[in-house]
A and B are shown apart, each in its own frame.
Chain A
Amino acid sequence: MNAQMMSQIGEFIIALIVLLGALLGALSAFGLIRLPDVYMRSHAATKSATLGVLLILAGAFLYFTFYLEHVSAKLLLGIVFVFITGPVAGHLNGRAAYRSGVSMWDKSVHDDLKPALKRERERMRESQAVDSSKAGVNEES
């Protein structure tokens, strides 16, 4: 009687974890629809979707470990893989968006990357000019 009740409570907690992960996925979709800007939308899509997947996969891992007696290394590998690659993909996408000139929201007030990028481009242009002048000297001599 007692063991059966414990097992039912454990099942309920695992289902609650899975339901919480699903709600986080729905929250990330809501942010993807409602936020005004690529960068803010990337904030919503990357973080909360990754956390939702982590919760669901952890719930599946617990369920298969305790109720079906099957410790799945594949599921653990999936958890680690999503945990590593989700933020990396978000970062790459935001970098590509900024460098290809997607504009920010009208009401955003601060942009630290703009002067840094300008400086870097000036430095690259100077070094290219130095290279081409050296090449010209070599050809003349």
Chain B
Amino acid sequence: MINSMLIASLVILSLAILGCLYRLIKGPSMNDRIMSLDTIGIILLSMIAVLCMLFRTTVYFDIILLIGILTFIGTTALARYIERGDVIERTNDESDR
């Protein structure tokens, strides 16, 4: 019973990733693509949680944390790059003078 429901939710989540891929390819602006990559990362994270419940194992929990952190850092870096032109600001005023 619970196995079939978990497999059904895996199928639904993969369809959601397909929808995000459509926006990733077609998206008119760069920010659409960043946003859809962020959503793909979050949905992938929940797919791994469902997979853990399906296999009844706990070894994939590290991967959940890792994908969460990598998704956030990637989104932040890309958004800052779009906004200001570089990712890490250099604010040493001495070198300008």
Residues in A lying within 8 Å of B, measured CB to CB: 8, 11-12, 14-16, 18-19, 21-23, 25-26, 28-30, 32-33, 38, 41-42, 45-46, 49-50, 52-53, 56-57, 59-60, 63-64, 68, 70, 72, 74-75, 77-78, 81-82, 85-86, 88-90, 92-97, 99-100, 102
Contacts and interface: CB of A to CB of B under 8 A. Distances in A.
Greatest chain B CB density within 10 A among A22, A56, A102 is at A22
B16 to A, nearest CB: 4
Contact of A52 (B30, B46, B61, B83): B46
B46 A57 contact: yes
A95 to B, nearest CB: 7
Interface in B53-85: 53, 56, 58, 61-62, 64-65, 68-69, 71-72, 75-76, 79-80, 82-83
12 contacts: A18-B9, A19-B8, A19-B12, A22-B50, A25-B13, A29-B17, A32-B20, A63-B53, A81-B68, A85-B72, A90-B35, A97-B31
A22 B8 CA distance: 9
Interface of B: 1-2, 5-6, 8-10, 12-13, 15-20, 22-23, 29-32, 34-36, 38-39, 42-43, 45-46, 49-50, 52-53, 56, 58, 61-62, 64-65, 68-69, 71-72, 75-76, 79-80, 82-83
Identify whether the interface residues of B are mostly helix, strand, loop, or mixed: helix
A59 to B, nearest CB: 8
Contacts of B53: 18, 59-60, 63-64
A28 B80 contact: no
B2 A15 contact: yes
Given A22-B12, A25-B12, A68-B56, A45 B79 contact: no
Contacts of A75: 49, 61, 64
A72 B49 CA distance: 12
B19 A30 contact: yes
B9 A72 contact: no
B59 to A, nearest CB: 11
Contact of A97 (B29, B56, B58, B64): B29
